[in-house]
Amino acid sequence: MSLRKFKRIGLLITYIIAVYIFFPDDVYAMHIMEGFLPINWAAFWWIVMIPFVIAGVRSIKKTVTLHPSLKMLLGMAGAFAFVLSALKIPSVTGSSSHPTGVGLGAILFGPTAMTVLGMIVLIFQAVLLAHGGITTLGANTFSMGVVGPFVSYGIYRGAKKLGAPLWLSVFLSATVGNLMTYVTTSIQLGLAFPAATGGVMASVLKFMSIFAFTQVPLAISEGILTVMVINVLSAYSQKELQILAVFTGKELPTSKRRVKT
């Protein structure tokens, strides 16, 4: 991807950054905050996360070794996830919800690569924005960097096999991946803090209901935005997408084909 192409894609992300500036920072983030989980659960999610990170490092290394030209696109996918997941939208309970941005990277580079990018994003957010934490990095990475990308990737591939158009496959991938990230986080919190009445299930349902009001529209918005980004890439980065097998030449709309002279 050339620098000019990268700048065009960056226009969308720049808009998101501008919006982010106007959101307040004094709300609790949906990333599980530093020190919030009991030590046994914090350690458990770290252990569960590590194999996926190792697989992701290998996947990224293989990709950039075979196709060095994809490094910029890989960085763009990470930046997209960083900006979107840094948005903190106040929820009805005084806490907040946010997009995840992991669907795009999962579609382009596969789910394990997005595990690594997601973990890096979460580290920067924990250190620079006090959004999440290091002790809870395992849990946050598992929900946003493992479950989200794997669901997004599975939905995308499944929709394509069923003959769904590219835009619908991308939309469903990003939307459902976003929602499943929050379902996972609710399960993590429910396991760590079971309700006195009803136990784990009651606690999980409580956490899920807290974020449902804001997370559903956010998930839909993220799906639409991801489709927009893929459309820009399909117009200006056809070679890179074909290398990544996002779609073949036959699936590219006629209006976006470049005529060779």
Sketch the domain layout of the chain as residue ranges.
29-243
Q: Which helix (H) or strand (E) holds 89?
A: strand 89-90
Give the pLDDT of residue 18.
Answer: 45
Strand partners, 199: 195
pLDDT per residue as tens digits for the range 144-174 = 999 999 999 999 999 999 999 999 999 999 9
> Reduced to 3 states, what is the DSSP secondary structure of residue 244?
coil
Residues 6+ apart with CB under 8 A from 4: none
Collect the ranges in the chain with pLDDT lower than 70. Answer: 1-30, 88-96, 247-261
Q: Is 27 helix (H, G, I), strand (E, B) or coil?
A: coil
Architecture of the domain made up of 29-243: Orthogonal Bundle (1.10)
- 178's CB contacts (< 8 A; 6+ apart) are 99, 100, 102, 103, 148, 215, 218, 219, 222, 223
Contact 126, 34 (CB under 8 A): yes
pLDDT of residue 206: 84
Q: What is the pLDDT of residue 203?
A: 86
Confidence at residue 151, expressed as pLDDT on a 0 to 100 scale? 96
CA distance 62 to 195: 45
**What six digits make up the tokens of 47?**
């252990």
Cα(209)–Cα(91) distance, rounded to whole angstroms? 11
Per-residue model confidence (pLDDT) at position 58: 95
Yes or no: say if 178 and 103 are a contact pair by the CB < 8 Å rule.
yes
pLDDT tens digits along 76-103: 999 999 888 877 665 544 445 778 889 9
91: left (phi over 0), alpha (psi -120 to 50) or beta: beta
CA-CA distance, 261 to 19, in Å (whole number)? 42
